[in-house]
C-alpha cells in the first residue's frame, strides 16, 4: 500500500516511491526532475541512489512538482534537512521535530473524526469554494479516488487538490488508504438558517453559469418567468419540493458511483425588494403581453 508523505523518514525513499507509482513505472520522471532542478540527470540518480543530497533550494523547487500543500512542503524540507545534517545531534533535532509534527497531526485527526457533524469552526472553509464539496463527493466514485484523477476531472492544480484532501481527511469527511481516498464517516449538513447557506448556493450557481457556456446536450438548464396569482405559489412550491423528494428516492446508496452532477431549483418573487415608485418612472415602450410565462431551456 502506498504511504503518504508523513509516514516517511527519508525524502529519498519518498521521491523514489513517488516516481515509481507514476504511469509506466515513472519513465521520464527523473529527466523531468533534472529539468526542474536545472541539473544533470546523473545527479538526480546520485541523489536517489547514492550519497548526494538535495539542497534546500532544490527541495523547495520540487514542492510544486510533488503537489505539496504548505504544510507538506515544510515537512518535506524537514526530511531533507534531517538527511543533510552533519552531526548526529543536529539530525536528532530535526527527527524530533518530524515526530512532533506527526503526533500533532494524529491528535488533530482523532479529535475531528470523533465528531459526528462538521463543527461550526470548520464549516466556513468547507463552504468557501465549490471544489471542497466537489472533491468530497467525487471520491465516492472509484475512478476519482486519486489526486491525479481529481486534478484531471476538475482541472485543478495538484497542490490545491492535495490541500482540500488533507482538510477532508483531518475533518473525518474522507479517509486515506495509500494513495486513494474515500468518503469518511462524519456528516455534513448546512441548515437553512446558517449564514453560510448563501455562499453555498452562490458557489454552485456560478458553476451552473459556466456549464451554460459548454452547451452540452446531456445537461439540462431551465429558467421560467411566471405571472401567477399569489394563491397559486404554495401549490407550485409543493410540486417542486415533491420533485426534490423524488430525486432523493432515486439516489440510493450504491457502489457504482461514476460521476458528479449538480442540480439546483429556485422559486422566488422577482423585484420584491424594488421600490414601486422607481418602476413607474421606467417608460413602457412595448405593448403589454398577455402571455402567462416565457421559458428558456437548453
Q: Model's pTM, two decimal places?
A: 0.50
Nearest one of 178, 174, 182 to 113, comparing CA atoms: 174
In sequence order, what are the residues at sequence separation of 6 or more whose Cβ sits closer than 8 angstroms to the Cβ of residue 152? none
Give the DSSP letter string of 153-171: HHT--HHHHHHHHHHHHHT
Fold classification of 5-113 (topology level): 434 Repressor (Amino-terminal Domain) (1.10.260)
pLDDT value at residue 291? 29
Q: What is the pLDDT of residues 131-161, one digit of tens each?
A: 888 899 889 888 899 999 999 988 899 999 9
Write down the domain spans for the chain.
5-113, 221-297
**At what angle are helices 158-170 and 70-84 packed, to 10 degrees?**
100
Tell me what the pLDDT averaged over the chain comes to.
78
Over 70: is that where the pLDDT of 252 sits?
A: no
Indicate the SS3 state at residue 222.
Answer: strand
Dump pLDDT digits (tens) for 61-89.
999 888 888 888 999 999 999 999 999 99
Contact of 161 with 151, CB cutoff 8 Å: yes
pLDDT-wise least confident of 110-114, 121-125, 166-170 = 110-114
Alpha-helical regions (H) of 21-157? 23-26, 29-37, 41-49, 56-65, 70-84, 88-113, 123-126, 130-138, 147-154
pLDDT of residue 298: 26
- Distance between CA 229 and CA 236 in Å, rounded? 11
pLDDT digits (tens, 9 = 90+) for 5-53: 888 999 999 999 999 888 888 888 999 999 999 999 999 999 999 999 9
Instruction: Please identify which residue in the block is written with the cell numbers 453559469.
Output: 209
Whether 171 and 118 have beta carbons less than 8 Å apart is answered as yes
Longest alpha-carbon distance in the chain:
89
pLDDT tens digits along 181-193? 988 876 666 666 6
Amino acid at each position: 500500500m502506498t504511504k503518504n508523505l508523513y509516514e516517511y523518514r527519508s525524502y529519498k525513499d519518498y521521491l523514489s516511491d513517488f516516481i515509481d507509482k507514476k504511469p509506466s513505472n515513472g519513465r521520464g520522471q527523473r529527466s523531468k526532475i533534472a529539468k526542474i532542478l536545472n541539473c544533470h540527470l546523473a545527479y538526480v540518480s546520485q541523489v536517489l541512489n547514492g550519497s548526494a543530497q538535495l539542497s534546500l533550494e532544490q527541495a523547495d523547487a520540487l514542492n510544486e512538482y510533488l503537489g505539496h500543500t504548505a504544510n507538506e512542503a515544510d515537512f518535506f524540507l524537514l526530511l531533507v534537512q534531517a538527511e543533510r545534517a552533519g552531526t548526529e545531534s543536529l539530525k536528532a533535532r530535526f527527527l524530533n521535530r518530524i515526530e512532533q509534527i506527526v503526533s500533532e497531526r494524529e491528535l488533530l485527526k482523532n479529535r475531528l473524526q470523533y465528531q459526528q457533524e462538521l463543527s461550526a469552526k470548520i464549516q466556513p472553509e468547507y463552504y468557501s469554494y465549490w471544489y471542497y464539496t466537489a472533491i468530497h463527493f467525487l471520491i465516492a466514485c472509484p475512478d476519482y479516488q486519486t489526486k491525479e484523477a481529481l486534478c484531471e476531472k476538475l482541472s485543478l492544480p495538484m497542490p490545491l487538490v492535495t490541500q482540500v484532501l488533507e482538510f477532508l481527511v483531518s475533518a473525518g469527511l474522507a479517509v486515506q488508504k495509500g494513495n486513494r481516498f474515500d468518503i469518511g464517516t462524519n456528516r455534513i449538513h448546512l441548515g437553512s438558517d446558517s449564514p453560510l447557506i448563501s455562499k453555498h448556493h452562490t458557489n454552485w450557481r456560478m458553476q451552473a453559469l459556466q456549464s451554460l457556456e459548454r452547451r452540452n446536450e446531456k445537461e439540462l438548464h431551465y429558467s421560467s418567468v411566471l405571472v401567477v396569482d399569489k394563491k397559486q405559489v404554495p401549490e407550485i412550491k409543493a410540486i417542486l419540493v415533491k420533485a426534490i423528494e423524488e430525486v432523493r428516492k432515486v439516489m440510493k446508496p450504491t457502489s457504482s458511483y461514476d460521476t458528479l452532477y449538480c442540480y439546483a431549483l429556485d422559486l422566488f418573487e422577482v423585484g420584491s425588494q424594488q421600490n414601486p415608485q422607481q418602476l413607474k418612472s421606467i417608460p413602457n415602450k412595448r405593448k403589454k403581453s398577455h402571455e402567462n410565462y416565457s421559458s428558456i431551456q437548453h
